[in-house]
């Protein structure tokens, strides 16, 4: 069965600090996809990144970076020089690959509430 | 592009009444839409998957007679909470995947509907 664990319920940092959000997943499939979404106080979910299980390269996008380690089943997310606008709930999610018209479900972790203080 | 509009954003209803929530893909066609429910400070739980022109597939533990889903067109899915009770109060979020998008492409989320049953 699929499972996504975000052990950090809440994190509080001061602006300009770096912060890492942890994500550990479980799946029996060899092909799967991992996602990070941001949910600001307004409620909508904003897509940040998708990574497939065959691509272990780390990715950097501006102040955001992701570290994917299959050996530890982790897909951690780091925000460098955090800003107040980064305050939100961040969700890690897992989707097992299905093809040929089958519907892929997105399973979410419990989320990490990040509060960036000015 | 890929905008999903959810309406209403907030609704308050009396116990025993029914409430309909609409999810529209504004600039793309969506064969598949997903309905999630989110309790305060908790993760998003998948309720059901709806495919245009066919019956929705409900997750285990979700009452299909209580949460009626209709996906009548490629741009509209509706969730009707029938005979609502206070325990149905929650944040409901829909998401959609475009017909020309891959099976594991990121989902596009609506802004959610805050339902309060008094």
User: Can you tell me the distance from the alpha carbon of A22 to that of A6, in angstroms, rounded to the nearest whole number?
Assistant: 6
pLDDT at A98: 58
Nearest neighbour of A104 by CB, restricted to B57, B104, B109:
B104
Contact A110 B114 (CB under 8 A): no
Determine the 3-state secondary structure of B87 from DSSP.
Answer: helix
Tokens 């809440």, residue located: A10
pLDDT tens-place string over residues B24-40: 999 888 888 999 999 88
Q: Which of A26, A13, A27, A34 is nearest to A86 (CA)?
A: A13
| Pick from A20-29, A82-91, B39-48, B97-106: least confident | B97-106
Size of interface A-B (CB pairs under 8 A): 59
Chain B residues within an 8 Å CB radius of A33: 104
Q: Which of A39, A46, A53, A26 is nearest to A107 (CA)?
A: A26
- Identify the residue with better confidence: B66 or B98: B66
Residues whose CB is less than 8 angstroms from the CB of residue A11 and which lie 6 or more positions away in sequence, other chains included:
A19, A21, A112, A113, A114, A115
User: Can you tell me the distance from the alpha carbon of A19 to that of A27, in angstroms, rounded to the nearest whole number?
Assistant: 26
Confidence category of residue B2, pLDDT binned at 50, 70, 90 = confident
Nearest Cα of chain B lies from the Cα of A113 at a distance, in angstroms, of 9
Q: Are β-strands A10-14 and A112-117 bridged in parallel, bridged antiparallel, or unpaired?
A: parallel
Interface residues of chain B, partner chain A, Cβ below 8 Å: 32, 34, 41-46, 49, 51, 57, 91, 93, 95, 103-112, 114
Contact B110 A113 (CB under 8 A): no
Buried b (16+ CB within 10 A) or exposed e, B58-83: beeebeeeebbbebeebbbbbbebee
Confidence category of residue B53, pLDDT binned at 50, 70, 90 = confident
Which of A43, A110, A113 to mutate to probe the B interface, most B CBs <10 Å? A43
DSSP one-letter code for B100: T
What is the residue-averaged pLDDT of chain A?
Answer: 90
Token pair listed for A40: 């600001």
pLDDT at A59: 86
- Cβ(B2)–Cβ(B98) below 8 Å: yes
Residues whose CB is less than 8 angstroms from the CB of residue A38 and which lie 6 or more positions away in sequence, other chains included:
A45, A46, A48, A88, A89, A90, A91
- Cβ(A74)–Cβ(A59) below 8 Å: no
């Amino acid at each position: 069965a699929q499972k996504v664990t975000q052990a950090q319920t809440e994190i509080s940092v001061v602006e300009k600090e770096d912060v890492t959000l942890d994500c550990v997943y479980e799946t029996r499939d060899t092909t799967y996809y991992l996602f990070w979404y941001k949910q600001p106080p307004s409620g909508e979910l904003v897509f940040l990144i998708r990574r497939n299980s065959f691509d272990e390269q780390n990715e950097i996008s501006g102040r955001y970076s992701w570290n994917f380690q299959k050996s530890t089943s982790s897909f951690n997310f780091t925000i460098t020089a955090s800003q107040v606008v980064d305050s939100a709930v961040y969700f890690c999610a897992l989707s097992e690959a299905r093809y040929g018209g089958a519907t892929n479900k997105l399973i979410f972790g419990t989320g990490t509430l990040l509060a960036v203080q000015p | 592009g890929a905008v999903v509009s959810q309406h209403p954003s907030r609704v308050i209803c009396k116990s025993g009444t029914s409430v309909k929530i609409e999810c529209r893909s504004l600039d793309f066609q969506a064969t598949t839409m997903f309905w999630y429910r989110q309790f305060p400070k908790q993760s998003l739980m998948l309720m059901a998957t709806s495919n245009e022109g066919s019956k929705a597939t409900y997750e285990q533990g979700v009452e299909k007679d209580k949460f009626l889903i209709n996906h009548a067109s490629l741009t509209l899915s509706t969730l009707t909470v029938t005979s609502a009770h206070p325990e149905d109060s929650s944040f409901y979020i829909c998401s959609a995947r475009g017909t020309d998008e891959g099976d594991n492409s990121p989902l596009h989320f609506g802004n959610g509907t805050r339902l309060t049953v008094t």
